[in-house]
Homo-oligomer: A and B are copies of this chain.
Amino acid sequence: MKKLINAPENVVKEALAGMAIAHADLIDVHFDPDYIVRKGAPHNKVGVISGGGSGHEPMHGGFVGYGMLDAACPGAVFTSPVPDQMLAATKAVNGGKGVLHIVKNYTGDVMNFEMAAELAAAEGIEVASVVTNDDVAVENSTWTAGRRGVGVTVLLEKIVGAAAEAGADLATCKAIAERVNAHGRSMGMALTPCTVPQAGKPGFELAEDEMEVGIGIHGEPGRRREKLAPARDIAEMLAGPILDDLPFQSGDAVLAFVNGMGGTPLIELYLMYNELARILKDRNITIARSLVGNYITSLEMAGVSFTLLRLDDEMIKLWDAPVHTPALRWGM
Q: Is the CB of A15 within 8 A of B191?
A: no
Q: Which of A2, A57, A234, A270 has the most CB of B within 10 A?
A: A270
Q: Known interface pairs A4-B272, A232-B6. Does A265 touch B266 (Cβ–Cβ under 8 Å)?
A: no
- Chain A window 222-250, contacts with chain B (Cβ cutoff 8 Å), 1 for yes, 0 for no: 00000010111010000000000000000
- Measured between alpha carbons, how far is A297 from B267 in the docked complex, in Å? 10
- Measured between alpha carbons, how far is A11 from B269 in the docked complex, in Å? 11
Interface assignment of A171: CB less than 8 Å from any CB of chain B: no
Q: Is the CB of B264 within 8 A of A300?
A: yes
Q: Chain B's nearest CB lies how many Å from the CB of A82?
A: 19
Q: What residues on B are CB-neighbors of A22 within 8 Å?
A: 258, 270, 273, 277, 290, 292
- Measured between alpha carbons, how far is A62 from B312 in the docked complex, in Å? 29
Q: What residues on B are CB-neighbors of A17 within 8 Å?
A: 274
Q: What residues on B are CB-neighbors of A231 within 8 Å?
A: 4-6, 14
- Chain A window 66-109, contacts with chain B (Cβ cutoff 8 Å), 1 for yes, 0 for no: 00000000000000000000000000000000000000000000
Q: Is the CB of B271 within 8 A of A18?
A: yes
- Measured between alpha carbons, how far is A18 from B300 in the docked complex, in Å? 23
Q: Is the CB of A21 within 8 A of B273?
A: yes
Q: Chain B's nearest CB lies how many Å from the CB of A172?
A: 29
Q: What residues on B are CB-neighbors of A12 within 8 Å?
A: 267
- Measured between alpha carbons, how far is A191 from B191 in the docked complex, in Å? 18
Q: Is the CB of B14 within 8 A of A300?
A: no
Interface assignment of A279: CB less than 8 Å from any CB of chain B: no
- Measured between alpha carbons, how far is A16 from B277 in the docked complex, in Å? 13
Q: Which of B230, B265, B274 contacts A299 (CB 8 A)?
A: B265
- Chain A window 13-37, contacts with chain B (Cβ cutoff 8 Å), 1 for yes, 0 for no: 0111111011000000000000000
Q: B-contacting residues of A (Cβ < 8 Å)?
A: 1-7, 11-12, 14-19, 21-22, 54-55, 57-58, 62, 191-192, 208, 211, 228, 230-232, 234, 258, 262-275, 277, 287, 290, 292, 294, 297, 299-300, 302, 304, 329-332
